[in-house]
Amino acid sequence: MTATSLTDLLRDDMAEVDRVIRASLHSDVVLIRQVAEYIIAGGGKRLRPAMVVLCANALGYRGHYHHELAAVVEFIHTATLLHDDVVDASDLRRGRPTANVEFGNAASVLVGDFLYSRAFQMMVTVQNMHVMEVLSDATTVISEGEVLQLMNCHDPDIEVDNYLQVIRYKTAKLFEASSRLGAIISGAGDEVEAALGRYGMHLGTAFQLVDDVLDYSGDSDQTGKNVGDDLAEGKPTLPLLHVMRTGTPEQATTVREAIINGSVDQFDAIMAAVRATGALDYTRECARREAELAVAELTCLPDSVYKQALLELPAFAVERDR
């Protein structure tokens, strides 16, 4: 599955999702429109909305609520990005200045709140209590993940399990919810919903693991962010945890001090340690295992081009370079 083939398959569906997004962004408050348009127009893979549409189509859904819910998921994701960039003091996303740089922290936070509120307005129109339950649970867990990540910053002694918990809360939870929504509106039943939820959870975990790889190997022109940003924020991601577990005492000490201080002064030395310990290959292999677990959950779906896309999506998430 390439980005091009996925785009071709979902061209009409995603055009409708975009129409819903644009219509739902309307506000009489000009600044809200400006900030929301700025970040949504900034690109992005739209994987989470695509998963809602793919799962619904794979189950033969013929209504229109999958477009509404895909837009809801994108609004929730966009709100988290606005808040994340303020918390992390980020200045670059998708190759452009972040909204907080362009419009200020206060505007970014408040427009993020608006997008959350609009998302809940939209999900009510589906008139399905289980949909609201899944999405309200997801937003709560995502917020918990954000706080957990904040607590883990500058702490080189966290366990891998703590790191993975942050990923599953902060990133993978919305992937899980996106997959489940397609099953819910299709009336597929509890077992299919649970299987697709696990698919989304494993896929989202793989996706974030690769993001953590790209922070030490990506081209900023490709990834749209500054290489080394996670280190500058004192985030103990899996590549760094692997260096501290398997590297020399000197390498471990260098990484520990960088995490504690949120410093990139020793970035070249840290990159040398990452390469010497095979930390990026190790992390990407962990992502591949998550991708395999995701694929194994799709036996519940009938054969279709949409199932095939879902089968191929984990490999795309793992092998990407941006």
Look up the pTM and report it.
0.92
Rounded-to-integer distance, Cα 164 and Cα 183, Å: 26
Rounded-to-integer distance, Cα 152 and Cα 223, Å: 24
Q: Which residues contact 265 (CB under 8 A, 6 or more apart)?
A: 258
Domains observed in the chain: 3-315 (1.10.600.10)
- The SS3 assignment for 136 reads helix
pLDDT of the residue at 222 = 47
What pLDDT tens digit does each residue of the chain (322 aa) get? 556 678 789 999 999 999 999 899 888 998 988 888 887 777 667 899 999 999 999 999 999 999 999 999 999 999 999 888 888 778 877 678 888 888 888 989 998 999 999 999 999 999 999 999 999 999 999 999 999 999 999 999 999 999 999 999 999 999 999 999 999 999 999 999 999 999 999 999 999 999 999 988 865 454 445 678 888 889 999 999 999 999 999 999 999 999 999 888 889 999 999 999 999 999 999 999 999 999 999 999 999 999 999 999 999 999 988 7
